[in-house]
Amino acid sequence: MKHLLRYLLSLTGLLLLAPAARAQSAPGTTALFDAGWRFHRGGAQGAERPGFDDAAWRAVDLPHDWSIEDLPGTASPFRADAISQVSGGFTTGGTGWYRKTFAVPAAQKGQRVQVQFDGVYMNAEVWLNGQSLGTHPYGYTSFWYDVTDKVAFGGPNVLAVQVQNEGANSRWYSGSGIYRHVWLRTLAPVHVAPWGTYLTTPTATAAAAQVRAQTAVANEGPQAAALTLVTRLRNARGQEVARTETTQTVAAGATATFDQTLALKKPALWSVDQPNLYTAVSEVHQGPQLTDRQETSFGVRTIAFDAARGFQLNGQPLKLKGGCFHHDNGPLGARAYDRAEERKIELLKASGYNAIRCTHNPPSPALLAACDRLGMLVIDEAFDMWRVGKNPFDYHLYFDQWWQADVASMVQRDRNHPSIILWSLGNEIPERGAPAGMATARQLGDYVRGLDLTRPVTAAVNGLNPDKDPYFAALDVSGYNYAAGGDHHQADIYAQDHARVPNRVMYGSESYALEAFGSWMAAVDHPYVLGDFVWTAIDYIGESSIGWLGYWQYQNFYPWNLAYCGDIDVCGWKRPQSYYRDALWQPNQVSVFVHPPAPSFPTNPDKQEWSKWEWDDVLADWTWPGQEAKPLTVDVYSSCERVELLLNGQSLGSRPTTRATQFRATWQVPYQAGVLKAVGYTGRQQVRAAELHTAAAPAQLRLTADRRTLQANGQDLSYVTVEVADAQGVRHPKAITPLKFELTGAGTIVGVGNANPTSTESYQGPQRNAWQGRCLVIVKSSPQAGVITLRATAGALPAATVALTTR
């Protein structure tokens, strides 16, 4: 796979879509298997046996993460002596057990039964009715078992899972437990194999597209059978737009691939602005009997990469406005609720992103489905290490035995998503500069290409010297970690490498927010640089304080537990650096921030010069009692031609905010309570304004829900922002008011947070201190329809409520 090759489309993952979009097999079923588990934190010898007494265990529903829960006997998940230390945000792993008792109707005897886990962190061992199904070390790939020979049809069954998150095994917050969905499938002996549908578009234009459907059909019956596969394509309105059928004989116990081609006239192409999706319906017939029916969502699009035009989507060049992030969901920990994953993508789209890099592991199926629906490009990444570990107990212990199965899980599960444009073999692999690392890169790359030739292979590489050329040669597209400097006039490693290796296609796979200007200008100026991915788009638990205290890191950094380096914080609120990125990426942007007169947190005198994941210490705050008449530094970020700053209606002058000024302007402003206003102009026309208001004393609470109507499915979420405001409705940016919450009706509180990186408060309890005048409450629907009322109180302030409806 070299330059000028076309890398083609694909669709959303078979059997891994969100529940509302999931197809039901016929005559079998696919059931969400998340409800009604029992959980014990700690050892439980003999718990794999069906007769084990788990009555004293806690009842939980999945997704579940015990590391985000309060430690026993405390009101916090954090402790200074946690084995995870700074890397894991001072959270605790350990061993946990899950058990679920369930029935499979006697009428289903003769069908195949499969159980699938979307993700378990980590070292999962699974039993059914006391019989071992197997182990799965990696915490981020999906896996499944055929349990037909172990199921008691018509009787009770016990599924037991032991999870061991022991020792230092991660550089970030991993969470612990069955943190993604589990599914139970019953299928006829003749059926589409798991992850067995593979759709590509060898050609795709606005006029016509060719869709290739390669479908693996399993015959687990007692004898060979002539099977017919009917494949239909439906548009977004449900109209059938193409159909074909193929018959072939499949031996008993064998799996055969049906290779079909369908033609589409005037297809609605998938893009980041118009994420049009189709549905492929796969029906398997054995004579007159329909034995299986699966639906798979997909999109029609082409992708291409070359040094002359960069990345092209549907033939049009497109710069990647990208961000990296880890898999946790802030106050929810690692729990991968579909709505939590979808909300992340909505927030990033709203902030101008068109691409994400899933660092440093495959994401949840729900996140990829959201990227398909919303139009977000994805780099799907396999590993953070290969044979050389970064922690004593990380995946390097399992790589040789498991890499092939885990890579196959990632690619076969995900290769139908139109959002995915690159397969990443790994991040900052320690052996990247050694011959052994180059050989492994070739081995992994060739294996990925054998599973999917429609996307190039990449990796994120640090230590960007010419000695990495052999490693880059094993890749199709080269990911550069921390390449471009903050000053675009300094030596440009992209240009240097382009002069030496002119056909190399590059992108910034990680960059500092502080160097956002130089990193983005390098992408703008060089066609062979595809784009830039900041570290990070969303803040996360773990790597605590890299965005403030930095490296090197020590235990005495406690109570820091958040990285504090994201454009968007763990509650989903934009941080100042996100507003600066708005000015880089979008026209007519204006925002205004103030440097506090004293640092927001104590600083680290031993912070390393290369440790630059922080942002300027600025706040959207014009409430500074005691600073009257003293000068405060004010920064304005703007993509307008110039900006005028006004204090209480009096102009403080205007300044240019162009590429020459790096889209910034700075004033020294003597503090005076009132309104600080920045007005952006293009020519003489005012096009945008931003204001900061001085807050008076707190007088009210304000509750704002991102969604007022939820599905009554026991999984849907509403994110409620609680603000402490003055009588005029101005949020008080210094309020740290203790808040209490009461919920009644058809739901539960599943998370609270305030984005304070040093807070060790519970993420689970019905209370939280405000930070910068606000906090977040995450409400989950119950399976019953009804009304949910969330009530917030804070001392003498009037109580406030918000009502939600579940349907």
Using H for helix, E for strand and C for coil, what is the string for 677-695?
EEEEEECCEEEEEEEEECC
Q: Both 242 and 345 in a single domain? A: no
pLDDT exceeds cutoff 50 at 36: yes
The mean pLDDT value of the chain amounts to 95
In a domain, 559, yes or no: no
Q: What pLDDT band is residue 728 in, cutting at 50, 70 and 90?
A: very high
Inside any domain, residue 468: yes
Whether residue 486 is predicted with pLDDT greater than 50 in this model: the reply is no
Beta-carbon contacts of 387 under 8 Å, excluding residues fewer than 6 positions away, are 396, 399, 400, 431, 436, 440
Give the percent of the chain with pLDDT over 90.
95
What one-character-per-residue DSSP string does 727-791 give?
TTS-B-TT---EEEEEEEESEEEEEEE---TT----SSSSEEE-BTTEEEEEEEE-SS-EEEEEE
CB 724 within 8 A of CB 794: yes
pLDDT band at 3 (very low <50, low <70, confident <90, very high): very low
- Asked if residue 392 is part of any domain, the answer here is yes
For residues 682 and 760, membership in a common domain is answered with no
The answer to whether 161 and 182 are in contact (CB under 8 A) is no
Residue 477 and residue 336 share a domain = yes
- Provide the pLDDT confidence category of residue 485 given band limits of 50, 70 and 90: low
- Within 13 Å and on the Cβ side, how many CA atoms surround 244? 15
HSE-CB at 579 with a 13 A cutoff on CA atoms is 20
Amino acid (one-letter) located at 278: Y
Q: Is residue 599 part of a domain?
A: yes
The domain boundary, picked from 187, 208, 239, lies at 187
Condensed to tens digits (0 to 9), the pLDDT of residues 79-93 reads: 999 999 999 999 999
Strand arrangement, sheet containing 112-117: 29-32, 182-187, 112-117, 143-146
Asked whether residue 628 falls in the same domain as residue 763, the answer is no
* Within a domain: 573: no
Helix axes 576-585, 516-525, angle to 10 degrees: 20
Q: What is residue 476's three-state secondary structure? A: coil
**Among 654, 671, 693, residue at a domain's last position:** 693
Query: Which CATH number fits the domain that encloses residue 670?
Result: 2.60.40.10
State the pTM of this model: 0.95
Same domain, 726 and 683: no
Q: What is the DSSP letter of 337?
A: -
How does 206-232 read in b/e, with b if 16+ C-beta sit within 10 Å? eeebbbbbebbbbbbbeeebebbbbbb
**Residue 560: strand pairing partners:** none
Residue 601 domain flag? yes
Domain boundary among 693, 726, 741: 693
Q: Which pLDDT value is given to residue 374?
A: 98
Number of structural domains (the chain) is 5
Which tens digits make up the pLDDT trace of 655-683?
999 999 999 999 999 999 999 999 999 99
Model pLDDT for residues 774-791, shown as the tens digit of each residue: 999 999 999 999 999 999
CATH number at residue 496: 3.20.20.80
Residues 51, 66, single domain; the answer is: yes
Statement to judge: residues 677 and 785 lie in one domain: no
Q: Rounded to an integer, what distance in angstroms lies between the CA atom of residue 480 and that of residue 458?
A: 10
Model confidence pLDDT, tens digit, residues 695-708: 999 999 999 999 99
Check pLDDT > 60 for residue 25.
no
User: Has residue 151 been placed in a domain?
Assistant: yes
In a domain? residue 551: no
pLDDT of residue 394: 98
27: confidence class by pLDDT, cuts 50, 70, 90:
low
**CATH number for 178:** 2.60.120.260
**Residues 359 and 391 reside in one and the same domain:** yes
Residue 11 has pLDDT above 80, yes or no: no
pLDDT of residue 492: 85
| pLDDT tens-digit series, residues 557-598 | 999 999 999 999 999 999 999 999 999 999 999 999 999 999
Residue 490 has pLDDT above 90, yes or no: no
Who has greater pLDDT, 338 or 6? Answer: 338
- Supply 267's token pair: 């297809």
- 259 pLDDT tier (thresholds 50, 70, 90): very high
- The pLDDT confidence band at residue 46, using thresholds 50, 70 and 90, is very high
Are residues 501 and 644 located together in one domain of the fold?
Answer: no
* Residue percentage of the chain with pLDDT more than 70: 96
Q: What mean pLDDT do residues 715-723 have? A: 98
For residue 147, the tally of other CB atoms under 10 A from its CB is 20
- Structure confidence at residue 28 as a pLDDT band (50, 70, 90): confident
Do 261 and 297 reside in the same domain of the chain? yes
CB 765 within 8 A of CB 75: yes
Do residues 382 and 488 both lie within one domain?
yes
Q: Residue 506: left if φ>0, alpha if ψ -120 to 50, beta else—which one?
A: beta
Q: Both 397 and 512 in a single domain?
A: yes
Structural domain containing residue 46 = 28-187
Q: Tell whether the model's pLDDT for residue 4 goes beyond 90.
A: no
Compute the average pLDDT of residues 644-649.
Answer: 98
Average pLDDT over residues 118-126: 98
